[in-house]
Structures are given as structure tokens and as C-alpha cells.
Chains A and B, each alone.
Chain A
Amino acid sequence: MKTHGNRAGRQHLRIGMTAVAALLALAAAGCASSHKAAGSSGAAQASTVTIDLTPQGCTPRPARIASGQVTFNVTNKNAGAVSEAELRTSDLQHILGEQENLTPGLSGGFTLNVQPGRYTINCPGASQPHWTLTVAGKATGPSWQSNAQLSAAVSGYSRYVDQNAAALVTRTQAFCQAIGQGNMTQAKLLYPQARVYYERIEPVAEIWGSLDTQIDGRWENPVTVASQFTGFHKLEQLMWENNTLAGAPQLCAGLVTHEQQLLKLVRTAQYNPLEMASGATDLINEAATSKISGEEERYSNTDLPVFQANVQGAMEVVSLLQPYLKQKDPSLVPLIDRRNSSVTRALAGYRAAPGYDGTGFVEYSTVLDSQRQQLAAQVNALAEAMSRISAQVSS
């Protein structure tokens, strides 16, 4: 789980045709509404599209707008069978933004930077689910699509996310199977193995804020309601702290359901280089905060493998962007590589075979404060270098 601040920060940077967080996620992140527009694109024109969900459909008003920052306000007036509106590419292949879970009487929305073109507003369940939105004007974001290296990096990242999301589901199913068999020892071995796949792609999962909470929510961040503490960390608490599997099979089934929803969403989501870059920095920031402190895996002490997974996910982005970055800023990739090597060396001191709960690492509670400080210094240095990528892929 990321901190609220980090998530709000990422909102600032999201641009272009991209999967976006629903307004509900923004509210959960404690992000002031005024933040949402600031700094997101530099586009001068901000406009609003109103979408009312009715049994008949979801006509956008107006149906033609200027490109740039657009806020979509979605309200369910009286549509019992319709509960969401999506902004999709006209071929319906990619979801660019959405507002889900609107029962009659509720409203919400999302904001994003829209490039010129034709789009479809999709509201499944309505008698006419597809409505056209036309965006006129000039392209406002950086045209990374015309750059072969950046396009290849984005495609590569899509594949990486899809693969990790798929493995997340499979590994979690194996974990749940052990739970179903009442095999606590085996379940404890499989828990960190499944989590690695989530921790590599977490910034993407955070796009759909409620799913991130359902899968990876910690007690205090942002759950604090017992009935909503349902994901990995609730199972972790049951096994390591309460030493029981009572209620675990049902929780695990729910976890898999949410992961399958995530898998479905990432397969249609489209990313951009800036999002990749800021996500990579977020991953390293996360390793430097919630992993170093031990708060993320507080019951199981399996922080080291997920720490490594955060770094792996970030370095995958670097690897994909490397051909482009090497031309854009020849000093940056070597700097990141050097600092990544320092992190790897620091982490190597805690490897063990088979390690604590089979993780390949020692139990994190045995890592002393002074050692954690050393690890943190190296990973912060990596994050600082990582944060320089975003400007390079945006100009």
C-alpha cells in the first residue's frame, strides 16, 4: 500500500490517454479537489462533461468538447441496471477513465487529459450502452506515440503488468488452496510468493483505488473499518498474529475475485511513459518507507522479498525505457544502474537459503535499525535518480 501522499502525487502527473483513478479514489486518498487539476498537463482549457446514467443510456453533455483537461461528472438518476460509465477508445479496446459502483442517487466522476479524437462513453446494462464523444482541437500532451522507442516501452510495460497480474492470480489461488486444506505451514510459504507479483506492479493497481484497498489495504491505511480489512494483510494477521485459519478461506476467495477484476482491468488499460516513470519512483519510494519500517508485513516479517519486488518492478521500467533514455540523457541510466547495484549489494547481506518461510531472505525483524538505515540510504539514492526519468520521457 502506498501512503496517501504518494497516491495524490501520482494524480498530479497523470496525463494523456491513460487509465485514471475514479474520483472516489481521489477522495479516499484525501486529495483536495483543487489538486486534481493542478500540474496535470499545462493545458489551459478545462471543461466539464455531464453524464447521467439512465435505463436508456449515458449521453454525454456536451457531446463535443475541446481537447485538454476534462472532468466527467457522472450521476445515476434512476438506472437500477446501470452502475458505471467508462470512457473508452472508439474501438472499445482501452478504458481511459471510469466511474463504477454508482447506485441510483449517487454521483462521482473522473478527470483526465483528453487528446483530440472520437471516443465512446460505455454504460453496460443500458438499452443503448455506447455513446459517442468527440474531442476537437490540438493535441495537448507529448506525442510519445510517434516515438518508436517509447511506444515499444509502453507495449512492453503492458505485457509486464499483464504477466504479473496473471501470475498474481495463479499464485494466490495456490495460496488459497493451502488455506482451504488447513495447511498453515504451506500457506505461510505461499503468502510472500504471491505478494511479490503485486508489489512489482502496485502503482498500476492503485489506479483503481478501491481494488488496491481490497487486495493490499493495511489496517490503518486506509481501512480502519474491520469489515473492510479483507485482503492479503488480513490473512497475514490471521496466520501470523492470531495463528488461525478461521474465516480465511472466504477471505481468500474474495481476494482472488478482486485480483481477477484487476487482471481484467489491466488487460484493457493503456499506460504512457510518464506514468511508467512516476510509477517506478513510487515503487522505490514505497520500498524506502513501508518496507524499511517493516510496517507493510508487520505480522509476517516477510518484508525483504517484497522490498526486492518493488525494486524489480521499478528496474523493469528503467530497462524498458533504457534505449530511449540512453539517447536523451546518457548519464542517467548509468547512475540508476550504479545505485541499483548498491541496493542489490546491500540486500545481498540478508539473503538466506531457504530463508525465513522460504523467502530466500532472513526474517525482517532480525535486521537491526542501523542496518535498515543503510538499506534505506541506498534505496533513497536510487529513488532520487529514478525521479529524474519523468522529465526525460515528457519532453
Chain B
Amino acid sequence: MTAAQAGRSAPSRRQLLAGAGAVGAGAAAGGLAGYFSGVTADASGGGDPGAQTVPFYGAHQAGIATPAQDRLAFGALNVLPGASRADLRDLLREWTSAAARMTAGGLVGEVSAPYAPPADTGEAVGSPVSRLTITLGYGPSLFDGRFGLAGRKPAALAPLPPLPNENLDPDFTGGDLCLQACSDNPLVAFHAVRNLARLGMGVVEHHWMELGFGRTSTTTTAQATPRNLLGFKDGTRNIRAEQTALMNDYVWAGRESDQPWLRGGSFLVARKIRIFVENWDRDYLQDQQHVIGRAKVSGAPLSGGTEFTTPDFTARAADGQTAIPADAHIRLASHEHNGGTRILRRGYSFTDGIDPQAGTLLGGLFFIAFMKNPAQFIRLQQALAGDALNEYIHHTGSAVFACPPGVRPGRHWGDGLFS
């Protein structure tokens, strides 16, 4: 039995903490327990917002309609040559159990057996769970016949066609599976992906991984609009979880899907978008505002009003030109200009450090969006071919995944796909 399946006997982060609390610095001889004795954070009670959990089980997977957390760890994984259909199904079962534990604030497994490598890697001990969600997706390549899943492939699940303004790095493109972990605590999100990948050794390996350090979208009416690395508010007109009609029309896969196992799920499109921030920062304010179509500080559309005023794409400025320029980002991306097409954006700012040759920031927006069909994203991205913003950004990574619906207690992530 694996540690994750051993489930109930494993301590929670809090329990472990409480247990270690009385142990002083002299605990070294006690083995690994001593390691945790130094952890004193999160000693407060249940009123701590960090203690909030998001239910793992439900009709939909958490991490889609969930109010966007501040931090992201995203892993794309490939199944190893030689791994079988049964290996994959067993892994999904094990992952489900581990994810349910972690999202409830628990550890993957025991950390105290002195002569076994700790079942949990331990870095999140003492960290509040901070609304951790873990969302699983299947890439198109998973259905290529290796696992007898070709007949289960949703017709809409295919690598994205070539799109404007992209130069994709194969090292950040595609993947058989994805794991999206979001939390308000960066260590907790990272810990989730690290431990699931570790459980998967011998069956899957990381193809690529990205950490997001600040949310760039708002997914509920209760949240304030965050800013991306352009310094602009992002996601002002995003779909909100409370807008259930829009969620059903544009986000959740339903009866239109050719694969019953996908109903209640959603497609995840990930795009690694580098922003040439140094160039952007040298652009004068009015031009930046023209590129986006909004005022930088207030977020109001250039057609007037406040942040949440609906943009008037026909309004004219004093010079007779449209107040929101013809090539402004918000115009070209708007549903008004795309036959009503909308998506649920849920992206994060990222950085991979500094370009060793140019000395410039390797960073930008790790764009994530959920939708009923990837055709929605394709349409919007094609419409952005003439986007004024393209001078400052470049899409360098891309992936699409079909996220199954939520898990009911006692079931596991792969049940629908493998049944």
C-alpha cells in the first residue's frame, strides 16, 4: 500500500505541528521529528484565513470556478515509455487520494519513520493550506493509442493550430497530463505538484513546470481586479463564477461533447507569454493606454466611465478617431468582436529569471483559460493577429488539456476515462 492510500493514518500539517510544539532544540536525536520542531508558524486558531480549504470533491474539479488564488504551480507531465494503461490508471487513483489529502491540509503520508525516506517531502509542514486546489487535465497525446484511449478522445482535443505571434519552445509545449495547483501560499502549491510528480516516478515524468507568483485574473465578483506585469488591471471583463449561465455556455463541457466522460469538465489552454517588459516600460503612458484600450491606473475603458463600465467601441475621441483604437487589445479580444465568444481566464505572472544573453527579464504572463471548446481560444487568438500589444509580447509555450469533471467521494480522477 502506498503512503497516499494509507491516508487516514497520516498526520495533517496542523497535527504534526501541534505534536512537535513541545519539542525543543534537543530533539535532534529523535530523527526527522526534530526537523519539524523548528516550525512555529501557523500557530493561530481556526479563524486564520490561511486555514481555509476548498472542497476537493464535487460536480466540477476545483481550481476552475474557484476564486483565483494568488499562487500557481503548474506541471505538464509525459507518461514514460513502457508504462501501461494499468500503471496510468493506478497512478490516477493514487493521485486522487493524495490530492484529497493535501487539499484538506494533510500530508501525503508519514514523515516519522526514521529509516524510510519521508513519504511527504515536508516543505509545506507548518504552512497553512491556503485554499489549495489541484486540477488534472489530459493532453491530446494521451489518446494516441498507447493506453487504449484513442476511442475516448474528445474531437475538440487537439494540439492548437499555428497561431499569430508565437514561436513555441518545444521544452514548454504540450504534455500528456497536467497538474494545476493553486493556493494563496506558494510553498503549498509547489509542494502539491512536487509530491504528485514524485508519486508518479516510473510512470510519468515532468515535461515542463511553471510557477506563477501573482494572479492576473478575477473569477468572482468578490475579488478586486489584479494587475499583470504590464501594470494594467487584467480580467476586468472575465466570466465570474456567479454567472452560471455564462459558465454553462462557455466553460463547462456539456451535452454537446462527443465524450460523455468529459461532461462537467472543461478544456484548459495554457500559453506561456513572454512580455518584453523593458521595452514596454519605455513606452509613454498614453501609448500604453492606447495599446490596451484602458486607463492604466483606474482600469476604465478609454471610452469613459469607471473600471466596470462596458467599453463603447464606437465612441469617438476629440480627434474623431475611436476612443478605443482599432488595434487596442481589449477591442480585438472582446466578445463583441468575436461573435460572443468568451473564456474563463485564470492566468498568473511568472518569471524564469534573466535572459543570459540579453540581460532582460524572462517573464510575463502564464496564461491559463478554461472553456467548453478550445475553438473559443483559437478564435480569440486569431483575432489578436493585429493586436497592438504584439509588439511587446511573444507566445513561447503552449498546451491544451481536457480536464475531467469533479470527483465524487470514493471515486477517482480516472474513473470516467477508464470505465
Contacts and interface: CB of A to CB of B under 8 A. Distances in A.
B117 A37 contact: no
Contact of B201 (A37, A38, A40, A380): A380
Interface stretch (B30-38, B124-132, B354-362): B30-38
Contacts of B113: 391, 395
Contact of A46 (B29, B116, B203): B29
Given A41-B29, A377-B80, A385-B202, A391 B115 contact: yes
Interface in B8-42: 28-32, 34-35
A263 B16 CA distance: 46
A380 B204 CA distance: 11
B115 A13 contact: yes
A377 B205 contact: yes
A62 interface: no
Contact of A384 (B30, B31, B116, B198): B198
Interface string A35-53: 0011111111010000000
Contacts of B29: 37-38, 40-44, 46, 69
Given A42-B29, A42-B31, A274 B80 contact: no
Nearest to B1: A331
Nearest to B113: A391
A46 B82 CA distance: 49
Interface in A361-386: 373-374, 377-378, 380-382, 384-385
Range of interface residues on chain A?
A: 20 to 34
A257 interface: no
A394 interface: yes
A388 B115 contact: no
Interface string A71-101: 0000000000000000000000000000000
Nearest to A373: B205
A39 B82 contact: no
Contacts, number: 66
A39 B27 CA distance: 9
A390 B115 contact: yes
Interface in B106-126: 113-117
A44 B30 CA distance: 7
A342 interface: yes
Contacts of B30: 42, 44
B114 A394 contact: yes
A227 interface: no
Interface string B187-228: 000000000001001110100000000000000000000000
A39 B117 contact: no
Given A388-B116, A390-B117, A394-B114, A38 B35 contact: yes
Interface string B88-117: 000000000000000000000000011111
A177 interface: no
A39 B81 contact: no
Interface string A196-225: 000000000000000000000000000000
A314 to B, nearest CB: 15
Contact of A391 (B82, B116, B202): B116
Nearest to B116: A391
Interface in A11-67: 13, 34, 37-44, 46
Nearest to B78: A377
Interface in A115-144: none
A42 B28 contact: no
A339 B81 CA distance: 12
8 contacts: A39-B32, A42-B29, A42-B30, A42-B114, A43-B29, A374-B80, A380-B205, A388-B116
Interface of A: 13, 34, 37-44, 46, 69, 274, 339, 342, 345, 373-374, 377-378, 380-382, 384-385, 387-388, 390-391, 393-395
10 cross-chain pairs, A with B, having the tightest CB-CB distances, nearest first: A391-B116, A381-B202, A394-B115, A377-B205, A384-B201, A39-B31, A38-B28, A387-B117, A381-B201, A391-B115
